[in-house]
Amino acid sequence: MKARPSLAALLLGLSSMLAGCASNDCSSGSVCGNGNAIGSAVTGSSSPTEASDPLTFTVEENDPWDACDNGQGIVFDPPVPRRELSTELAANTSVGTPQEARSYRERLAAFDDGHHGTPANYTLIGLNVQGTSRRAVTIKDVTVHRLTSLPVPAGAVRVQRMGACGGANLNRFATDISSSHPVLTFTEGESAAGTMRTRGFPVQVSESDPENLVVFAYALRDSHTFVLSIEWSSEGVTGTTEVRRHDGKPFAVTSARTVEQLGYGQDGGFESLVGIFDPDNPF
């Protein structure tokens, strides 16, 4: 089984992609963009002058079923009959072309949604942000907003596809969605010049100078939905841009610590899994 090229490229090229261009950095003693002047606040794509949002972004999550992406599988509540689930997962053996692989992933994602499945333990969010014009936009911060939190029912089950392809996921920010007040914590980063970053924000973006961010969002208890919010300023105007999944739904993650855990092997059978998710050594 092969990893998705787009996500693999995002993760493997993180050392150069995460930081965008070296000019994105804003030193603590410098003035970024327009000096972070505080003007009329805007939310989303509207502004006092009805100008378009100065930012655009694309979002990609790791595939929780893909062992090559270190996927932790899906938590189902209620559990899906094993025969039905095995049929869906076994269909992967017939995947050949990239188009067929994408079709399969979309079908499996629809299957998960239809059976109330959410990513187990963590989700890895790749966020590419860039400006919509030549003018510089300063990203002052990215925040996380939890929308819902529910206990994980005792009858739920986590199912993970077994196997491995090597490599490791990298990330720049981490957040415990199950904490009382989840925040994004900077973990690591590197500029295009190869220098290590010591903080995450502020950074500048423009149409030709994007910034790539990776958010490692995990849960140690309960089931949660959440969104991200980009706080920016440009030419005297400040605003926020909300980030959701590509289909408009909020991101979701469910802790699998208290539920039955099963592995789906390459032979098509299920086996019990032992172990507790550790965010300090997740992969």
Q: What is the pLDDT of residues 35-58, one digit of tens each?
A: 222 222 222 332 333 347 888 899
Residue 263 lies in a domain: yes
**Are 196 and 167 a contacting pair, CB within 8 Å?**
no
For 198-231, what is each residue's pLDDT tens digit? 778 888 888 877 888 889 999 999 999 999 999 9
Residue 199 lies in a domain: yes
Q: pLDDT band at residue 239, thresholds of 50, 70 and 90?
A: very high
Alpha carbons 117 and 146: distance in angstroms, whole number: 18
Whether residue 74 has pLDDT greater than 70: yes
Task: Judge residue 132's burial from the number of C-beta atoms within 10 Å of its C-beta, 0-12 exposed, 13-18 middle, 19 or more buried.
Answer: middle
Alpha carbons 68 and 65: distance in angstroms, whole number: 9
Tokens of 127: 């966020």
Residue 216 lies in a domain: yes
Q: Which residue has the higher pLDDT, 283 or 160?
A: 160
Alpha carbons 275 and 254: distance in angstroms, whole number: 16
What pLDDT score does 88 carry? Answer: 86
Whether residue 22 has pLDDT greater than 70: no
For residue 152, give its domain range.
5-80+119-272
Residue 283 lies in a domain: no
Residue 219, CB half-sphere, CA atoms under 13 Å: how many? 30
Residue 281 lies in a domain: no
- Bridge partners (DSSP) listed for residue 43: 240
Residue 268 lies in a domain: yes
Tokens of 80: 């899906």
Residue 134 lies in a domain: yes
Number of domains in the chain: 1
Sheet strands (E) in the chain: 41-43, 55-61, 74-76, 117-119, 122-131, 137-150, 157-161, 173-176, 185-186, 203-205, 211-218, 223-234, 237-243, 251-254, 260-264, 270-272
Alpha carbons 184 and 280: distance in angstroms, whole number: 15
Q: What is the mean pLDDT of residues 235-244?
A: 92
**Are 177 and 224 a contacting pair, CB within 8 Å?**
yes
Could you tell me the pTM of the whole model? 0.72
Residue 53 lies in a domain: yes
The contacts of residue 200 (CB under 8 Å, 6+ apart) are 142, 172, 173, 184, 186, 189
